[in-house]
């Protein structure tokens, strides 16, 4: 969040109206679903009340994360996957996340440009969301929004992250299957992938495979994998040309195969619990950060900041006092 | 983990604070003309004013625009029309919005609109029309104020919130 934009505690209306909205959304009212997503995104008591209705009804959808560097073709791949899911008669939810400007707090959400044909299909619900200052390539409310689409009956959910660099791997804490997309010709991109993104990939895609050096990019990724000890699930490395749909059917097969592996290997539950822990922890951190920010903004602390600025006191000591002063008792 | 942005190089002096949560605005180009520079300039200006702007790209049909506005929970929709087909396209977009119970969304039009057609568009329910030479500030101010007014209508009970 930018400094100027104070959070409105009442954003999203009352808890009562939020519950009513959630009921209507889950009964199939698409307008209500759209507003529910806004309520969940705004956070606060309205979101808490709505999620209480939504969450028990979720848990049926297959959630697939698509991540990778900016311009690698994530949106186009998401659109191509959504089309294939529609051919299987599955209802598809898409969460497309774009970055919020740290300067203005605004965002330009352009992922729909790559999905023009899906706008007229009632079996597809696309929502663009801004990262609103969250790190890791997702938005803080992404898990709640995913749950809402899930509960509303969208049984395949594609979560497209912000264009990410190396270690923005939050999507793996939300998706059951994470697809990491890269493109040929990024130079040392494979080296860069090593540390973060590569580790969360369940499926690896080299998109824009009609470009020179695509085969080399695929070969390098496979070589990198061969250096690591053999794992029970070896992420397949696939080549796609998303704009033409080439390789997308194979990608869908690989995503399905990973889902089948999770079930067959008995790791699905453990992974679900790990994801739940991550979601709870993130929500708890956000609450604490909110309280901490309120405490730190109180005029009483100005004197301490002055002392730190004048190098009379250590910032660590003041931080410890600040944390001790946070009011944890009131219900937000 | 720093939430505080570094100071902007050219921080605008004394712009009103952005709405919170940010205004959600859809910018769309209906019809067949493919010149979207104007739409992009407006989208960028609204973003820089702290709004979340969904840009749909060119050659959108009225149902697709209305459906996108619905799914995105847009509070305002800006149509960029340079083709001269505004008196055909705008009523169709409005019709599709109303069919989705989105008739209360702030709809404005920008582009090449003859002055003689403006009253007809206003009569249809278009909240504002901006032509070539309109200062960008004017569009930004209009959208911010119209969205703020729409929010005030939606939640008349709640008093303006302080920080």
Q: The CATH number of the domain where B91 resides is what? A: 3.40.50.280
User: Which of A8, A31, A38 minimises the CB distance to B101?
Assistant: A31
Kindly tell me if the per-residue pLDDT of A303 is higher than 70.
yes
Burial label for A313, CB within 10 Å (0-12, 13-18, 19+), is middle
User: Which of A9, A110, A125 minimises the CB distance to B55?
Assistant: A110
User: Cβ contacts (< 8 Å) between A106 and chain B: which residues?
Assistant: 18, 22, 46-53
Residue ranges, chain B, pLDDT below 70: 1-14, 156-163
d(CA A111, CA B88): 28
Q: Which of B1, B20, B156 to mutate to test the interface with A (most CBs of A within 10 A)?
A: B20
Kindly tell me if the per-residue pLDDT of A272 is higher than 80.
yes
On whether residue B82 sits in a domain, the answer given is yes
Find the domain containing B139 and state its range.
24-154
On whether residue B56 sits in a domain, the answer given is yes
Does B56 sit within 8 Å of A112, measured CB to CB?
yes
Residue A331 — very low, low, confident or very high, per pLDDT cuts 50/70/90? low
Does A120 sit within 8 Å of B162, measured CB to CB?
no
| CATH code matching the domain that covers A59-265, chosen among 3.40.50.300, 3.20.20.70, 3.40.140.10, 3.40.50.11290 | 3.40.50.300
Distance from CA of A104 to the nearest CA of B (A): 5
Q: Is B51 on the interface with A (CB under 8 A)?
A: yes
**Among B105, B102, B115, which residue's Cα sits nearest to residue B75?**
B105
Distance from CA of A130 to the nearest CA of B (A): 7
Mean pLDDT to the nearest integer, A202-231: 87
Mean pLDDT to the nearest integer, A39-44: 90
User: Which of A2, A8, A128 minimises the CB distance to B5?
Assistant: A2
On whether residue B9 sits in a domain, the answer given is no
pLDDT of residue A328: 80
pLDDT of residue B18: 83
Q: pTM score, two decimals?
A: 0.87
Most confident of A6-20, A208-222, A310-324: A310-324
Distances (CA, A) of B27 to A36, A78, A127, B65: 22, 22, 15, 9
Residue A11 — very low, low, confident or very high, per pLDDT cuts 50/70/90? very low
What integer best gives the mean pLDDT of chain A?
A: 87
pLDDT of residue A115: 84
Strand partners, A181: A205
User: Cβ contacts (< 8 Å) between B46 and chain A: which residues?
Assistant: 106
- Measured at the CA of B52, the angle between CA B51 and CA B58, to 5 degrees, comes to 115
Does B100 sit within 8 Å of A31, measured CB to CB?
yes
SS3 label, residue A80: helix
pLDDT of residue B79: 96
Mean pLDDT to the nearest integer, A166-191: 79
Give start and end residues of each alpha helix (H) in chain B: 37-48, 62-71, 86-99, 118-124, 136-154
Domain residue ranges of chain A, discontinuous segments joined by +: 1-57, 59-265, 279-325
Q: Is B43 on the interface with A (CB under 8 A)?
A: yes
Phi, psi of A330 (to 5 degrees): -70, 145
Kindly tell me if the per-residue pLDDT of A4 is higher than 80.
no
Strands A177-182 vs A203-206: parallel, antiparallel or unpaired: parallel
pLDDT of residue A194: 60
More confident residue, A7 or B151: B151
Distance from CA of A271 to the nearest CA of B (A): 26
Nearest residue on chain A to B58, judged by CA atoms?
A: A113
- What residues contact B144, with CB distance under 8 A and at least 6 apart? B16, B18, B19, B23, B49, B51
User: Cβ contacts (< 8 Å) between A123 and chain B: which residues?
Assistant: none
Distances (CA, A) of B142 to A328, B42, B87: 41, 12, 22
Mean pLDDT to the nearest integer, A176-182: 93
**Among A77, A81, A82, A12, which residue's Cα sits nearest to residue A51?**
A12
Q: What percent of chain A clears pLDDT 70, i.e. is strictly above it?
A: 91
More confident residue, B49 or A327: B49
pLDDT of residue A285: 87
Q: Which two tokens stand for residue B115?
A: 């002055």
pLDDT of residue A190: 58
Residue A191 — very low, low, confident or very high, per pLDDT cuts 50/70/90? low
Kindly tell me if the per-residue pLDDT of A170 is higher than 60.
yes
pLDDT of residue B10: 52
Mean pLDDT to the nearest integer, A153-173: 85
Residue A99 — very low, low, confident or very high, per pLDDT cuts 50/70/90? confident
Helical (H) or strand (E) element with A198: helix A197-200
SS3 label, residue B58: coil
User: Which of A13, A106, A113 minimises the CB distance to B52?
Assistant: A106
How many distinct structural domains can be found in chain B? Answer: 1
pLDDT of residue B100: 94
User: Which of B63, B73, B163 minimises the CB distance to A6?
Assistant: B163
């Amino acid at each position: 969040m930018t400094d100027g934009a104070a959070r409105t505690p009442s954003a999203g209306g009352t808890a009562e109206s939020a519950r009513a909205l959630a009921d209507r959304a889950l009964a199939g009212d698409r307008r209500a679903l759209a507003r529910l997503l806004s309520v969940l995104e705004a956070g606060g008591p309205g979101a808490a009340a709505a999620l209480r209705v939504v969450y028990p009804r979720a848990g049926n959808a297959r959630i697939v994360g698509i991540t990778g560097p900016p311009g690698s073709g994530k949106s186009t791949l998401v659109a191509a996957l959504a089309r294939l899911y529609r051919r299987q008669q599955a209802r598809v939810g898409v969460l497309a996340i774009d970055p919020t400007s740290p300067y203005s707090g605004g965002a330009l959400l352009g992922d729909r440009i790559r999905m023009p044909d899906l706008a007229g299909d009632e079996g597809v619900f696309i929502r663009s969301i801004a990262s609103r200052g969250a790190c890791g390539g997702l938005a803080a409310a992404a898990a709640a929004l995913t749950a809402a689409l899930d509960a509303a009956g969208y049984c395949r959910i594609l979560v497209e992250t912000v264009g990410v660099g190396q270690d923005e791997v939050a999507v793996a804490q939300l998706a059951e299957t994470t697809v990491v997309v890269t493109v040929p010709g990024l130079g040392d991109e494979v080296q860069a992938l090593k540390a973060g993104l590569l580790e969360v990939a369940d499926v690896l895609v080299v998109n824009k495979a009609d470009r020179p050096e695509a085969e080399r990019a695929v070969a390098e990724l496979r070589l990198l994998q061969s250096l690591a000890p053999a794992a029970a699930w070896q992420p397949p490395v696939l080549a796609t040309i998303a704009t033409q749909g080439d390789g997308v059917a194979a990608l869908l097969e690989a995503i399905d195969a990973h889902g089948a592996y999770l079930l067959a290997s008995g790791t699905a539950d453990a992974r679900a619990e790990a994801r739940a822990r991550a979601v709870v922890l993130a929500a708890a951190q956000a609450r604490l950060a909110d309280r901490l920010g309120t405490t730190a903004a109180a005029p009483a602390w100005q004197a301490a900041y002055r002392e730190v600025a004048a190098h009379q006191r250590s910032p660590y000591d003041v931080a410890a006092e600040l944390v001790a002063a946070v009011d944890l008792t009131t219900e937000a | 983990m720093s939430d505080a942005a570094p100071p902007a190089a050219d921080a605008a002096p004394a712009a009103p604070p952005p709405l919170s949560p940010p205004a959600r605005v859809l910018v769309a180009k209906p019809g067949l003309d493919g010149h979207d520079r104007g739409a992009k300039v407006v989208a960028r200006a609204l973003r820089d004013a702290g709004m979340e702007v969904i840009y749909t790209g060119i050659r959108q049909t009225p149902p697709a625009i209305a459906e996108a506005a619905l799914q995105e929970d847009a509070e305002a929709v800006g149509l960029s029309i340079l083709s001269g087909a505004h008196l055909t396209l705008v009523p169709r977009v409005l019709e599709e919005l109303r069919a989705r119970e989105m008739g209360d969304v702030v709809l404005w039009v920008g582009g090449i609109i003859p002055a003689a057609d403006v009253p007809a568009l206003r009569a249809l329910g278009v909240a504002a029309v901006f032509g070539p030479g309109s200062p960008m500030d004017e569009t930004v101010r209009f959208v911010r104020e119209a969205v703020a007014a729409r929010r005030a209508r939606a939640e008349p009970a709640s008093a303006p919130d302080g920080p």
